[in-house]
Amino acid sequence: MSVDIQFAPAADLATKETPIRSAGNVAATALRFGSLIAFAVILAVFSLTAPYFLSIGNIGNVLGQSAISGVLAIGLTVVLIAGGANVVTGGIDLSLAANMGLSAAVYASLLQLGYGDPVVIVATLLVGLAIGAVNAAAVVLAGIVPLLATLAVMNIVAGLELVLTQNTVLPASSDFLTALSASDGFGIPVLAYVLLGFAAVAAVIVQNTPLGLRLYAVGEFPDAARAAGLPLKRLLAGAFVASGLCGGIAGILSVSYLSGSTTGSGEMLLPVVITALLGSVFSRRLVPTITGTLLSALLVGFLVNGFQLLNLPSTLVSGIQGLLILIVVSATTLLRKREI
């Protein structure tokens, strides 16, 4: 006795799956390259409607104005890479904006006490590193979810800033700050070069070194990284410390840009998170990258600048940012489910 097993014709399966697969591939391609097209369209629209939008001076201003948020977003990107893109259970650092505020307050306070720039710069960077170390200890040693750990640290740091500044503006000036806030012969701010140089160094370290590859492995494939013998806790802790260092650097840039320490640094948090998350769409694999975060920071900067040149309400920018992040997160999630 024999049993005849009849398989479905391969050609039928191919004809049923091909349109679905093709549609999915088109959607994936559109998502991966649509962000660059959208960036180009935004530049084209503003250049046609706003005079001087694409002038060298205006582009330099956008780069300079994006320096603080760009450095903070790069720090957050490092944490996203090492901790995973899940902002609830993975990598997130909500204390970055508060870190910048306290670092700026320390910088301005020490300058007012008569310390020189070298001492003040080192002290400010140490403050940023210390905040990053506290985050690392809370997440790695205490095992607290990064979202809650950095939220608690954010409130502590914000409170320390209020105690130090008494909720007042601390003016600051020095030769270093004057040089940092200057512009070159083309009208391009020094802060623009600082952003590009910092992003280039970070991109080389994160995207072109074994250390960067290990950070991606820890964030995306923790089980495989553990099986390979990678020190997961040390790498994750290092990412939070690096993020803290970025907060300290951003604090120095903030003092230079605003000529002192001002309150309200918490308002920077949401734009920084949006910038870091949006950066994924500029990556071919839809993962956080330093270059993607830089492009995202410039996209947000050009949006704000274009709205200002056209005298449109700046509040619309927040709405557009929220809409962009909703579209990107939804599309990325659907795309990953399809790939799984």
Average pLDDT score over residue span 238-252: 95
- List, as one string, the DSSP characters of 228-286: TT--HHHHHHHHHHHHHHHHHHHHHHHHHHHTEE-S-GGGGHHHHHHHHHHGGGGSTTS
- How much is the pLDDT for 12? 47
User: pLDDT tens, 6-45?
Assistant: 434 444 444 444 555 555 566 556 666 666 777 788 788 8
- pLDDT of 133 higher than 50: yes
State the residue range of the domain holding 258: 53-266
Token pair, residue 183, equals 């512009």
- Percent of the chain past pLDDT 70, that is, above it, reads 82
170 has which bridge partners? 261
Through-space distance between the first and last CA atoms of the chain, rounded to whole angstroms: 41
Domain-embedded: residue 302: no
pTM of the model: 0.85
CA angle 28, 30, 35 (to 5 degrees): 115
* CA 80 – CA 146 distance, rounded (Å): 11
276's CB contacts (< 8 A; 6+ apart) are 73, 76, 77, 80, 288, 293, 296
Q: For the segment 261-270, what is each residue's pLDDT rounded down to a tens digit?
A: 888 777 888 8
Answer whether residue 282 is part of any domain.
no
Return mean pLDDT, the chain. Answer: 83
Residue 254: inside a domain, yes or no?
A: yes
pLDDT at 197 over 90: yes
Total Cβ atoms within 10 A of residue 68 = 28
Positions of E strands within the chain: 170-171, 260-261
For the chain, what is the domain count?
1
Question: Tell me, what's the pLDDT at 8?
Answer: 44
Query: In this structure, what token pair is assigned to residue 229?
Result: 């013998």
Q: Where are the alpha helices (DSSP H) in 166-189?
A: 175-180
Q: What is the mean pLDDT of residues 42-66?
A: 84
Whether 327 is covered by a domain: the verdict is no
Crossing angle for the helix pair 290-309 and 190-208, to the nearest 10 degrees: 150
Which of the residue ranges 53-67, 207-221, 243-257, 296-310 has the most confident prediction, judged by mean pLDDT? 243-257
In a domain? residue 195: yes
On whether residue 157 sits in a domain, the answer given is: yes
Residue 165 lies in a domain: yes
Coarse DSSP helix, strand, coil percentages of the chain, rounded to the nearest 5 percent: 75, 0, 20
256 within domain boundaries: yes
Give residue 124's identity as a one-letter amino acid code. T
pLDDT tens digits along 277-329: 888 878 777 788 999 899 888 888 888 888 888 777 766 777 776 777 676 66
pLDDT for 244 equals 95
Distance of CA 338 to the CA centre of its chain: 26
- pLDDT band of 190, cuts 50, 70, 90: very high
Residues 6+ apart with CB under 8 A from 314: 304, 307, 308
Q: What is the mean pLDDT of residues 174-197?
A: 90
